[in-house]
Amino acid sequence: MDTTTRKVQQTGGSTFIVSIPSKWAKENGLKRGTELILEEEDGNLLIRGKSVEHQEVVKSINLENDGKDRNLLQRTMTSFYISNFDTLVIRTNGHMKPGLREEIRRFSKVVMGVEIFEESANSVVLQNVIDSSTFPLNNSVRRMSLNVETMLADVIEGIKKKDPDLLESIEKRDDDVDRYQWYIYREVLKNGQGDTGRIFFLILSRILERIADHTVNLSRIWGNALGSVEGNTDGISSFLTLVQTMYKEAITSFYARAYGNLNSIINRKDEVIRHRGDLLNDNSIKDIYTKAATVEEISRIGLYATDIAELAMDLILSEQDSIKI
Give me the mean pLDDT over the 285-305 stretch.
92
Amino acid found at 34 = T
| Tens-place pLDDT, residues 41-65 | 656 777 766 544 557 889 999 998 7
Task: Give the model's pLDDT for residue 304.
Answer: 98
The closest of 178, 176, 190 to 85, measured between CA atoms, is 190
What is the per-residue pLDDT for 22?
A: 76
Residues 155 and 123 placed together within one structural domain of the fold: no
Domain boundary among 128, 156, 183: 128
Q: What is the pLDDT of residues 123-167, one digit of tens each?
A: 999 999 888 878 888 899 999 999 999 999 999 999 988 899 999
Percent of the chain with pLDDT over 70: 88
Give the per-residue pLDDT at 50.
57
For residue 207, what is the DSSP state? H
Instruction: Assess whether pLDDT exceeds 70 at residue 74.
Output: yes
Residues 176-191, mean pLDDT to the nearest whole number: 89
pTM of the model: 0.78
Indicate whether 177 and 37 sit together in one domain: no
Residue 214: which pLDDT band, with cuts at 50, 70 and 90?
A: very high
**Average pLDDT for 273-279:** 94
Residues 231-248 have pLDDT tens digits of: 677 889 999 999 999 999
- The confidence band for 264, taking pLDDT boundaries of 50, 70 and 90, is very high
Residue 94 has pLDDT above 90, yes or no: no
Are 144 and 276 within one domain?
yes
Residue 179 lies in a domain: yes
- The CATH number of the domain holding residue 113 is 3.30.110
* Domain of 185, in residue numbers: 137-318
Quick check: 144 and 180 in contact, CB under 8 A?
yes
Q: Please indicate, yes or no, whether residues 112 and 145 belong to a single structural domain of this protein.
A: no
Type of residue at 175: D
Give the DSSP letter string of 10-61.
EETTTEEE-PPPHHHHHHTT--TT--EEEEEETTEEEEEETTPPP---EEEE
- Average pLDDT along the chain: 87
Task: With a cut of 70, say whether residue 225 has pLDDT above it.
Answer: yes
Domain shared by 95 and 162, yes or no: no
Which domain-ending residue is among 128, 152, 178?
128
Q: Positive or negative CA dihedral for 143, 79, 118, 105?
A: negative
Q: Please report the pLDDT score of residue 7 as a whole number.
A: 77
* Domain count of the fold of the chain: 3
Q: Is residue 155 part of a domain?
A: yes
Q: Are residues 105 and 69 in the same domain?
A: yes
If you average pLDDT over residues 254-258, what whole number do you get? 93
Question: Does residue 1 belong to any structural domain of this protein?
Answer: no
Residue 274 reports pLDDT greater than 80: yes
- Residue-wise pLDDT for 97-111, tens only, equals 999 999 999 999 989
Decide if pLDDT at 193 tops 60: no
pLDDT confidence of residue 3: 65
3-state SS string for 260-296: CCHHHHHCCHHHHHHHHHHHHCCCCCCCHHHHHHHHH
My answer on whether 195 and 272 are in the same domain is yes
More confident residue, 8 or 34: 8
67 shares its domain with 114: yes
**Among 128, 154, 179, residue at a domain's last position:** 128
75 in the same domain as 41? no
122/86 same-domain check = yes
Q: Are residues 104 and 194 in the same domain?
A: no
